[in-house]
Structure 1
Amino acid sequence: MKKYAYIGCLGFIGVITTEFGVIGILPQIADYYKISIDIAGYLLSAFALIIALTGPFMTLLASGFDRKKIMLTAISIFVLTGLVSSFSPPFWLLMLVRILPAFLQPVYIATALSVAVSGADKKNENGLMSIVFSGVAIAMVTTVPFATYLASLWSWEYSFFVQTIVSVIAFAGIYFILPDMPVKEKKSFGSQVRILGKPTFIVSIAMNLFMIIAWFSTYSYFAEYLNKSKGMDDKRVSLMLLIFGIMGVLSTWISGKMLNRNITGTTAFFLSGTILVPILLHFSGGNTTATLIVVAIWGFLYSPSFLNASTYMISAAPNSLEFANSLATSFGNFGVTIGTTLGGWMIVSKGVVYNPWIGLVFGALAFMMIALRSYLEKGRVLRSKTI
């Protein structure tokens, strides 16, 4: 039902605002706590690492519980995180409350997707999933740049206050609109874990990992990159985030339509941004208009990445939607961790201007994984015909 998909999208806005809301304020946080930008980046990479390490296990453990209660529990922890963070606690406590909701983030995403497609026709599933994932793009066009803008006017604590409000609204939406949804038939752990023995699924995991590393080696330091490489102040950065998000809302909708026709082709099309954007950023130089156009292209090609990665992985294991998606979320966030870490290392050792080239290298690796999966699938088809 579309109504359930939109509820999932609302919660996703709260989730993404919490996870990625720090991207626009990392320089301010680093300055406030007197730490380097790569250490401040741990607020993003540690969050993602917890998801990467625990996501599939938490999803399996939660798979037998009422889906509405699972979603409410997850969002309530996001509310707590934003509230504590908005009071500028010591850095160790800020890091701790940032980590807590990460344990349930993949559970929320997997559950929201499962709820969205429950009872839907197979041909409509990708469209419903794109509605849920549009929460990523909507957050990028509304709450994330708005939080960054408020931080530029006053202080970074206001960014976390925005995150709290968004999560409270999401909690209310789930509580009042979504009905109780007890699990009628719980799949066995063995039947779900079995997908890890499929070569095409393993290759799909690698594609997901490399693609997200490619994007986040620069995107994690979006504000730092535009500050140092393009000479933009915080207000211009918030404007760039707004443009980035507007293009993302459009591209997520388009991607959902394209995925219904060709999953591999759609994934490859948007992945091309990992090759194209670094080149365009290099040649845009210090020209603000040129950079604005590149950021728009960047936002368009980046925004459906999590939707494409999940759909691409699920297509290799269509009977294990929740577990396959939790692995997509897990390895995607592992990619966020590696990409953020590599990006921080590049900033410290060479300078932020070189970060996009990391993306080009890992984007090429992701393309190699798409080619490898296609080769494996063609080989399987040929073997089946000869039997």
Structure 2
Amino acid sequence: MAAQPSAPSPAPARGNPRLPLLALAAAAFGIGTTEFVIMGLLPQLAGDLHVTIPQAGLLVTGYALSVTFGSPFLAVATAHMDRRRALLALMGVFILGNLMCALAPSYWLLMGARVLTALCHGAFFGLGAVVASALVLPGRKAQAMAMMFAGLTLANVLGVPAGTALGEAMGWRSPFFVVVAIGIAAALALAAFLPRTIAVPPMNLKREARSLGSPQVLFAMAISIVASASLFSVFTYIAPILQTVTGLSTHGVTLMLLLFGIGLTCGNFLGGWLADWRLMPSVIGIIAVIIPLLASFALSSHTVVPAALTLFVWGVLAFALVAPLQMRVVSEAAKAPNLASTLNQGAFNFGNAMGAWAGGVALTAGLPYADLPFMGAGIATAGLGLAIASYALERFRAKWIPVRVKKMRHNNTLERLP
């Protein structure tokens, strides 16, 4: 069978990419808000639905597992659709799911609504990242992805604190109604500003599936899983940590979430710049700093100011990993950008699920809230090992494979001599 030709690199769309990127960021803002706002509402939601806080934390796990295992199927279902139409269809699923969350009368119906909402998450961010990179010139692709993911970080700056405050004032259901309105506005912006013809070819499933076995693609997805697990083993339970360990009121928790969100936003743009500069060394350096920082949070969480400083820096570092890892997957799976990008979003969320689950298991087993950061630091250490191994393999191949090819060509030349 003849080899399939490589997918050509799409040319950037004509015109100013700023408005399409802002439309993608607006959609990311809505998706990020609905994903993260529930963490600030866990104590209230658990009381209203008569479940424990670790059980309420499983709503985070259920959402993340739906992204992990459901999004690839949704990406396949939209494989032959026009990219603009596919993004709009995914936003339709998002709007419906959030409306069901707002109306859910019980814990298990809320879980089902969260699972439905999450289906669009990975597929939207996966496809959106590829579309964002297709809108700009080479050398700015990671920064374009970072601009789209800025909506996700702004969700933590504005959406999550505002949603937490709104939930405290008007009940935990009210933020989901607001997210429905955000989703409708974002869908209208996408319809208005995305180019009618986007220079991203529809997904070729056979070609893309064959391209996903690259060791570097697998390494990047594994790092995404572990980095997210490190973050969510602690962040899922940040509200009870701040209330029981730091001694903050619900208003104080809202301010802390705002500060963490500002850190995420700064880290997002920092990560985009670092990815376009030196990708893997940046990933290694970021994770190497996260490990002692998380370990120190076990101590700094007992006092307000040190806790606030640690949360801000943690937010910067945690989200500085997102654009580099997403860019790593897209660049290493050049023949499979659509599916690989979606699967990496699944990898991030599988890590979210595993982190939230591991934190819940530890708490149920009797681990104090104050000691959860030690778990996060231990998980991050595994991510550092994976990142170092990936970079070592890259350097080995860059050094020795060209030499081997050169020797083979030289030997072939000698064989042809009379």
Map of 2:402 onto structure 1: 384
C-alpha RMSD over aligned residues: 1.9
Map of 2:391 onto structure 1: 374
Provide the secondary structure at the position in 1 that maps to 2:395: helix
Displacement of 1:303 in angstroms is 2.4
Answer yes or no: is 1:359 the counterpart of 2:376.
Answer: yes
Displacement of 1:4 in angstroms is 1.8
The code of the aligned residue for 2:38 comes to V
The code of the aligned residue for 2:188 comes to A
Answer yes or no: is 1:159 the counterpart of 2:175.
Answer: yes
Q: Deviations over 1:114-137 (max 9, x none)?
A: 222225322111111110111111
Taking a change above 3 Å as real, the CA distance of residues 242 and 319 of structure 1, as seen in their structure-2 partners, is same
Displacement of 1:235 in angstroms is 0.8
Query: Between Structure 1 and Structure 2, how many residues are aligned?
Result: 387
Distance in structure 1 (CA, Å) of the matches to 2:184 and 2:255: 26
Answer yes or no: is 1:190 the counterpart of 2:222.
Answer: no
> Does the 8 Å CA contact 1:66/1:180 hold for their aligned counterparts?
no
Taking a change above 3 Å as real, the CA distance of residues 119 and 297 of structure 1, as seen in their structure-2 partners, is closer
Provide the secondary structure at the position in 1 that maps to 2:343: helix
Map of 2:112 onto structure 1: 96
1:334 to 350, 366, 377: 350
Taking a change above 3 Å as real, the CA distance of residues 302 and 260 of structure 1, as seen in their structure-2 partners, is same
2:332 to 304, 312, 316: 316
Distance in structure 1 (CA, Å) of the matches to 2:350 and 2:288: 21
Distance in structure 2 (CA, Å) of the matches to 1:341 and 1:12: 25
TM-score, scaled relative to structure 1? 0.94
Displacement of 1:265 in angstroms is 2.2
Distance in structure 2 (CA, Å) of the matches to 1:164 and 1:288: 34
Distance in structure 2 (CA, Å) of the matches to 1:183 and 1:53: 27
Displacement of 1:88 in angstroms is 5.0
Distance in structure 1 (CA, Å) of the matches to 2:288 and 2:182: 32
Name the stretch that deviates more: 11-20 or 220-229: 220-229
Map of 2:164 onto structure 1: 148
The code of the aligned residue for 2:160 comes to V
Distance in structure 1 (CA, Å) of the matches to 2:176 and 2:315: 23
Distance in structure 2 (CA, Å) of the matches to 1:253 and 1:168: 26
Distance in structure 2 (CA, Å) of the matches to 1:187 and 1:99: 24
> Does the 8 Å CA contact 1:18/1:78 hold for their aligned counterparts?
no
Unaligned runs of 5+ in 1: none
Distance in structure 1 (CA, Å) of the matches to 2:104 and 2:328: 40
Taking a change above 3 Å as real, the CA distance of residues 181 and 63 of structure 1, as seen in their structure-2 partners, is farther
The code of the aligned residue for 2:313 comes to I
Map of 1:221 onto structure 2: 237
Provide the secondary structure at the position in 2 that maps to 1:86: helix
1:111 to 117, 127, 135: 127
Provide the secondary structure at the position in 2 that maps to 1:359: helix
Provide the secondary structure at the position in 2 that maps to 1:41: helix
Name the stretch that deviates more: 280-289 or 144-153: 280-289
Distance in structure 1 (CA, Å) of the matches to 2:182 and 2:216: 38
- State, as a whole percentage, how many aligned pairs show the same letter: 23
